[in-house]
Amino acid sequence: MSDRQGFRVELAPTPEQRQRLGRHAGLSRVVENFCLEKVKAALDQREAEKTYGVADIDLTPVPWSAPALERAWRTEHPERFSWFAGNGLSSRVPKEACRVRAAGFKNFFDSRNGARKGKKIGFPDWRKRKHGSRFRYDANRATPADARLVKVPGVGKVRAREDMSWLTERLADDRARVIGSTVKEVAGRWWISFQLEIDRSDINKHRTALTDAPACGIDVGVKTFATVVDDDGTVTEIHAPKPLKAALRRLRRANKAVSRKQRGSANRVKAVKRLGQVHLNVANQRADFLHKTTTGLARTKRAIAIETLNVTGMIANRRLARAISDLGFGEFFRQLTYKTAWYGSSVWAADRWFPSTKLCGGCGTINRHLTLADRVWSCGCGLVHDRDVNAAGNLLAAMTLDQQAA
């Protein structure tokens, strides 16, 4: 089992099971906040001890690790949280909540020390109800009971809204195993995501890209989501649905409906649920488009040349931030990377500073005066370029030269 993969299915809990799921989500939130409280208390104690002249080696230890946080929880919950033992809640949820908090502390220090890529992240904060309901199980504690039932510890066997035969067949003959699971509520609907170790060799072999499939370069943009140029000269434009742009009016109306309802009222709860449903629809449309597009490219191209975009820097432009976020460039490149590994194709990423758009594909001259408004430009050598087609062709050429040099 060499691959890691997720498998998400929507649950159809009974009212009683829905209540139990909510209690487990509340338990996870309580434990996460308990862990943060213990760490902050230890840090405050250390600062006080330093003012008394206590040596560093004798300072109060901080429970950064998951085992230390778990020990603190086991020691204190019988008195501070006596309701935990009497409600039949799963003991695995606090264990995973401690691991989540410990991972958050590690990410903070790795980010501060430069060991973690991406934007600097802050110190973990208190978890609140408005942050959403979710909790985790370790290993295969939560697992499919059959094609339509999921065994959720502390909740029972919950019906699934989708058929899980694809997963249950692989679990039955040891082609897959569950290594963790996350239960989450979105817009009043409950989902469970299984993290799997799986043998995908049969699937990948059946869907592998052909050896004579074309190689291509892909230039992404706001106007045209992706311009694909194959090595045989074929140009294909892929247009994104832009679900957020299409849903802006509905989002405004749903937000206004929430603001007009009295806090704590049943009508406000309903309005919040309707707002969440609009956001969920937007996310589902974007995910559907990205998965279909990346799967099609990974299965029909033997090699794909892409850009290395600084998406964080791009969305700093307030005029383009919403449009760029609506397209999901980062997720597009992430999915291409793992799907090409599945289907036997490959992805080549250009250097971030490679001038794919400004470089003339004919003579190699760089047009340093090119602006975002210039959709077509002329080079001194006489060639007239469509900026997107030229950029995709330059990426393809750069990948070809790099592969030949290797």
The residues annotated as belonging to the active site are 219, 307, 388
Report the C-alpha gap between 206 and 161 in whole angstroms. Answer: 28
Q: Any idea how long the chain is? A: 406
Report the C-alpha gap between 388 and 217 in whole angstroms. Answer: 10
DSSP string over 199-237: --HHHHHHHPPPTTPPEEEEEE-SSSSEEEEETTS-EEE
Q: Give which of 372, 294, 275, 376 is closest to 339, Cα–Cα.
A: 294
Report the C-alpha gap between 31 and 95 in whole angstroms. Answer: 9
Pair 299, 305: CB distance under 8 Å: no
Contacts by residues 68-71 (CB-CB < 8 Å, ≥ 24 positions apart):
69/35, 69/38, 69/98, 69/101, 69/102, 70/94, 70/95, 70/98
Report the C-alpha gap between 295 and 97 in whole angstroms. Answer: 34
282 SS3 class:
helix
Q: Give which of 187, 203, 357 is closest to 258, Cα–Cα.
A: 187
How far from 205 is each of 5, 211, 292, 343, CA to CA, in Å?
Answer: 17, 13, 19, 7
N-terminal to C-terminal alpha carbon distance within the chain? 30
Report the C-alpha gap between 133 and 113 in whole angstroms. Answer: 31
Report the C-alpha gap between 42 and 57 in whole angstroms. Answer: 14
